[in-house]
Amino acid sequence: MKIILLGAPGAGKGTQAEVISRHLNVPAISTGNCLREAVRAGSPLGLKAKDDMDNGRLVPDDVVIGVVKDRIAMDDCKNGYILDGFPRTVAQAEALEAMGVEIDRVVDLEVPDETIKRRLSGRRVCEGCGASYHLDYKPSKQEGICDSCGKALIIRKDDEPATVQDRLDVYHRQTEPVKAFYSAKGKLFQVEGQEKVEDTSALVLKALEA
């Protein structure tokens, strides 16, 4: 099964992508994580992406499309995958179609902007391995330290309040039209994000079976 998870930054796409990944036994591909790894590694891709990412803007379509094209050609994607954070523009959705990719379902996680702002202010990420935590919803065992690798937890530069507002504006302007693109094809399933992660997961898994 090939699934797209849509939703504003901080809507919980990453967490739900992991849940679906375990449920269907297919990889979850986060373009945000791919790009952050490239930035950490200082690769040419990372150098191209860093400034846009730090300032809450989208990385150019051709750059991200190249990342996804390479990733879904890998062996572990033979039986399907979950795209988390891609496509984020109609041009990216069209590029996916032009690659001959047949998407089965598009799940859109609906979360109000005010909830997003509250959630992102508590998010922390590991500077070593990139694992994601939340002060209220998913605290690390030891404050400020990653459970998996023991490195320090930091606030993502793009989770700072001013940048969060910019990312939400970008989402409404550039990514929301992607919903209409898939809705017209009868592939869009909307799920209201719940307070508890597991309640949202139950609705997401139901949407996959519908």
Smallest distance from the beta carbon of 209 to ligand AMP, in angstroms?
A: 26
Residue 50 near residue 89 (C-beta atoms within 8 A): no
Position among 5, 7, 20, 86 found at the interface with ligand AMP (CB under 6 A): 86
Residue 163 near residue 156 (C-beta atoms within 8 A): no
**What is the DSSP secondary-structure string of 34-103?**
HHHHHHHHT-HHHHHHHHHHHTTPPPPHHHHHHHHHHHHTSGGGTT-EEEES---SHHHHHHHHHTT---
Q: How far apart are CA 107 and CA 82, in angstroms?
A: 10
Smallest distance from the beta carbon of 123 to ligand AMP, in angstroms?
A: 10
Residue 69 near residue 15 (C-beta atoms within 8 A): no
User: Which one from 36, 119, 124, 167 is the annotated catalytic residue?
Assistant: 167
Q: How far apart are CA 111 and CA 11, in angstroms?
A: 6
Q: Does 158 bind ligand AMP (CB under 6 A)?
A: yes
- Catalytic (active site) residue 124: no
Residue 59 or 107 having the CB closest to ligand AMP: 59
* Residue length of the chain: 210
- Catalytic (active site) residue 123: yes
Q: Does 16 bind ligand AMP (CB under 6 A)?
A: no
Position among 16, 31, 200, 201 found at the interface with ligand AMP (CB under 6 A): 31
Segment near ligand AMP (CB under 6 A), from 54-62, 145-153, 178-186, 188-196?
A: 54-62
Q: Does 159 bind ligand AMP (CB under 6 A)?
A: no
Q: How far apart are CA 57 and CA 5, in angstroms?
A: 19
Q: Does 58 bind ligand AMP (CB under 6 A)?
A: yes
Q: Does 130 bind ligand AMP (CB under 6 A)?
A: no
Give the pairing of strands 81-84 and 123-126: unpaired
Residues designated as active site: 13, 88, 123, 156, 167
- Residues binding ligand AMP (CB under 6 A): 9, 31-32, 35, 52-53, 56-59, 64, 85-86, 88, 92, 158, 167
